[in-house]
Structure 1
Amino acid sequence: MATAFEIAFAAGLVVVGVSLAGVAVGRLPDRALVVLTVLLGLGALAAGGSLAYNLVHEFTDTSPLVLATGGLAASAIAEAGLLALAHALRRLNDVETIGREARGRLSALVDEETEQRRLELERTLARERANALHQLGEQERRLAEERRDLVARQIDRGRNDLTEAVAAVQGRLERRLAAWAADLDRGQRELEVRLAALAERQAAAMSAQEGRLAADAEELAAAREELQGAVARLRAELEGQTGSIVDQVRSDLETHSAERERALRELTGRLRRREQELQEQIEREEVEARARLTAEIAHVERRQLEQLERTLDRAVARLGEDAGRRFEAQIRDSRERSSERLSRELDKMADQFASQAERDVAERVGKIAQTTAERLQRRVEEIGRSGEAHQELSEERVRLLGQRLEESLAKAEQRIAAFEAQLRSEMAARVSELERAIKAAQT
């Protein structure tokens, strides 16, 4: 019987070892541990009963029974401790599972929150984009209307200015043409008066000049006749003197040949000088007559030139009238050309203003789009920063939760370690008590 209890004690130790391995692996269920604990307890009770019976009747040695009873009791207690250890490990696994589930839930919550934030950001961006597009459309329409109004006002202003300028230019031209016509009329009347006076003066001058020319011609004819008569008289006197001298010379030729030759030479010299003087006088008269004729011819030429100038003035007046008519035609043509040019310039200015307005609108739209994009970018950055802050806060919460879980696990491990230490101390105390009891029983 003692051998059976010893075998049961050894089997209990084996069961405790196997249970410890099963609990460590986590493959042994609680029911098996309970069953094994109950069996070992029953074995310990049976061994205790046998020990008590043996102590009463002493049918065998008590030491194997005491050892078997203590071993089975210790095995039962150890099996019960393994059951508690299995419960603690299961709780620890539950805590780890709860931590993993919490981490998963937190990750899911973070992902869901991130997805919601992303969807909110997308909706906000879409709403802001739609608002920006709507504002841009309204701004473009408003700018287009302002541009059309401005172009219409400028066109009206340009037309009014052009009409006023054309009217002012036309008025100035009409006043200038009227002044020119009045000046031309006054000039024509003055020219007619001057022409009449010049014609009268020319007629009087011509008659006076003709009288002077006739008087000069008569004087020249009388002077020529006088010169011819003087020359004839001189010749007659010379012939008479020459005859007397010839007679005297002939009478005194033989005695006074030298005197006669000298007298002849003197007379010949005087005759020559007289002829030269007469010739010089005739030449002077001719020169003076030629000078007077030249002066009269120059005067006549001046009169003719003045007459030609008057004729030219009349021609100029006619040409001025023709030029005035041509000038009026040119003015009309230039007015039409200027109106066409001004219309082209207005069209060009309108096109330039339209292009400039389009460029301004494009620049304003670009600036508005840029500012809107910058504002959206700032909003996105702010939302991103807020999302990062939320993410950091979530991470901080997860970290704190992890720390709390780790602290809980550490506390659980500490409790398990304390429970194991307490269990070991209790087992050691009981073993020591059993040993003392065994020693006391042996003694």
Structure 2
Amino acid sequence: MPSTLPLGDPAPADGALPASVVEGVDARDFGVYLHVPFCRVRCGYCDFNTYTGDELRGVKRSDYAGQAVSEIEGAGRILRSAGLPDRVVSTVFFGGGTPTMLPSSDLAAMLAAVRDTWSLEDGAEVTTEANPDSVDAEYLRALKDSGFTRVSFGMQSAVPSVLATLERTHDPARIPLVVEWARDAGLDVSLDLIYGTPGETLGDWERSLDQALAQEPDHLSAYSLIVEDGTKLARQIRRGEVAQPDDDTAADMYELADARLASAGYEWYEVSNWARGDEHSSRHNLSYWRGHDWWGVGPGAHSHVGGVRWWNVKHPAAYAERVLSGVSPAAGRETLDAETGAVENVLLKTRIRDGLLVAELDETGRKAVAGLIADELVDGRRALAGTIRLTLRGRLLADAVVRRLLGD
């Protein structure tokens, strides 16, 4: 089943935010994340808050867009009541789940509600995730016509045996088709890959990279498979039905990906993300790593505004009940204190190519820099100039770098 929500303080029924969220608002961008929690089947590795048809307990997918619109409209009132100035939305991201299980008109209606509530910045980035078997050319044209600028396809692998282990349902041969349709519609294209699947060889991974690069996407993500507790894959590994992913092989796969992508003209901008020029980096995801503001719409969605973070109730039935009765769907929240904020700043900014300013570190972190340079985990020249940027070795050991900067 989907992952559990974090612990936190109770959220007020009206969703009201403290006056402190206004502090520093001019330095923060504002984005909107819309969670569409529906999937045709549940992949064995997935720990996201998603639901197949038999898990919906009477909830109708056809009602979901209206519920999301209700939350968006309520969000506008809450932000105004907190004293925040009118803000334009710089990025919108539809994730899931499989957003494209809904009709394109539903996604268009939700995007229109965002536009009507806040307005979109000129040149705003508007992305949806999509499974390759959930869209056709007409659907993608409709997305473009309604204001979408970008689509992120869950390719995961080009090798049928790897897709079978992951329980992905699409045919790899469909990838060139959907990419062509998206480009014909005028959408930027991102491809998502997963490496380190049990049984996947370095040759399998190279094949997936080659086929992904052959599509010349604007952006590519490559995520190491994480075996989450409670998933079907975790149970299979525990029973010995499939092998535990090997960390050394995964490291080799990451190095291969970085080399192949660099030679094809892609530059890393976050540990697991590469783009063909800065203009194709995911601005929405960068806003997370830079600590900006976003409102998360939908069951289980998380939000962050001015150091206050909250999360919605998980199940679509509970979510529908709350938004339709005018009650905030927030299940809990927390206000980040200075210490927690500083820790998260280090954790997030070290992952991006822009890096973390040495001046943002405490004394413990600053003392750790020389050792990180000596161990070739951070770029020495840049660190001496005042910015922590991970080397390739540092990206492989990013968590260890963060621990040393925090003194853990």
Q: Give the TM-score range, shorter chain.
A: under 0.3
Which structure has the bigger radius of gyration? Answer: 1
More helix by share: 1
For normalisation by structure 2, the TM-score amounts to 0.16
For normalisation by structure 1, the TM-score amounts to 0.15
More strand by share: 2
